[in-house]
């Protein structure tokens, strides 16, 4: 396989051009990588094509013509179809190809993909991200990686193009386990912040003033610094969709159950976000959780 640092000869296949994937693929293009792309709708990829990306007609065509494959899709079922179904990525990838799934998916599926890839001489990494749309656009995502450390080091120059904080966490599935930790902590934190805002209002306090005070204390967090004031202002524009956090927390809850780990906080936050979906808020940003408390 060609050295991954050589952008002039390295071809990256990118599958999944959604809000996150399109921004990540754009950063790779602008940094000098050659990109093959595939998504269900060619129209969706028009901006990337104008920037120089090559449109491919199928998953197999992308795979056969690329040295590295990056996937950023919706559900674990999508990941499984892409990698493990007949004529998918594993069936078509050349020996030595690096495949990097950056979808938030199941650790058990990441392990399954790794083992099947290994049997064919393909290098597989699970590398979910955190940082939302802004992080994807700015190339400042946090990336949590599982798989072989040797393979991780080979892929690192590419990961550094789309992310700022990149962590190798261990063997296959470790990236997904880490992302579960991130989502559970974030969701539970958001529940607490919603309760603080509602309480502050009831107590006759300025909620923005309370948040300003708390960000200088032990309760500070990324959620508090970046989302709390938007909750107060009623700005629910999606950076990360409610429907996606429900998917992620469902994966987390199922994984906790598989490992016999009790998680009352996770159970509560998942139920509240599901309630938000029932209210018709699935396409708003996660900070719309405050609406559950305001009803």
For residues 5-27, one letter each, b for 16 or more C-beta atoms within 10 angstroms of the residue's C-beta and e for the rest, the string is eebeebbbbbbbbbbbbbbbbbb
The token pair that represents 243 in the structure block = 């429907």
Active site members: 179
CA distance 232 to 245: 20
CA distance 183 to 266: 9
CA distance 135 to 142: 8
Q: How many CA atoms, within 13 angstroms, populate the side-chain half-sphere of residue 184? A: 20
Vertex 189 angle, CA 184 and 195, to 5°: 135
């Amino acid at each position: 396989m060609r050295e991954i640092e050589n952008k002039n000869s390295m071809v990256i296949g990118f599958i999944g051009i959604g809000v996150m994937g399109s921004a990540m693929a754009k950063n790779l293009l602008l940094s000098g990588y050659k990109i093959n792309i595939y998504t269900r709708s060619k129209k969706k990829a028009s901006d990337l094509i104008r920037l120089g990306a090559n449109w491919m007609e199928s998953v197999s065509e992308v795979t056969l013509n690329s040295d590295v494959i990056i996937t950023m899709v919706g559900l674990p079922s999508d990941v499984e179809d892409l990698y493990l179904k007949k004529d998918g990525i594993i069936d078509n990838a050349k020996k030595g190809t690096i495949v990097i799934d950056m979808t938030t998916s199941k650790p058990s599926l990441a392990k399954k993909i790794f083992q099947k890839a290994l049997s064919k001489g393909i290098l597989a990494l699970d590398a979910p991200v955190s940082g939302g749309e802004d992080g994807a656009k700015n190339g400042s995502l946090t990336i949590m990686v599982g798989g072989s450390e040797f393979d991780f080091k080979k892929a690192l120059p590419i990961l550094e193009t789309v992310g700022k904080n990149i962590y190798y966490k261990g063997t296959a599935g470790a990236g997904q386990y880490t992302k579960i930790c991130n989502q559970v902590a974030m969701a539970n934190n958001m529940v607490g912040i919603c309760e603080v805002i509602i309480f502050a209002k009831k107590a006759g306090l300025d909620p923005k003033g309370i948040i300003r005070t708390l960000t200088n204390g032990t309760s500070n967090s990324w959620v508090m610094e970046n989302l709390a004031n938007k909750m107060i202002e009623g700005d629910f524009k999606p950076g990360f969709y409610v429907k996606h956090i429900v998917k992620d927390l469902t994966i987390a809850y199922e994984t906790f159950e598989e490992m016999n780990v009790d998680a009352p906080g996770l159970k509560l936050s998942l139920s509240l976000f599901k309630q938000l979906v029932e209210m018709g808020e699935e396409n708003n940003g996660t900070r719309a959780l405050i609406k559950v408390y305001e009803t």
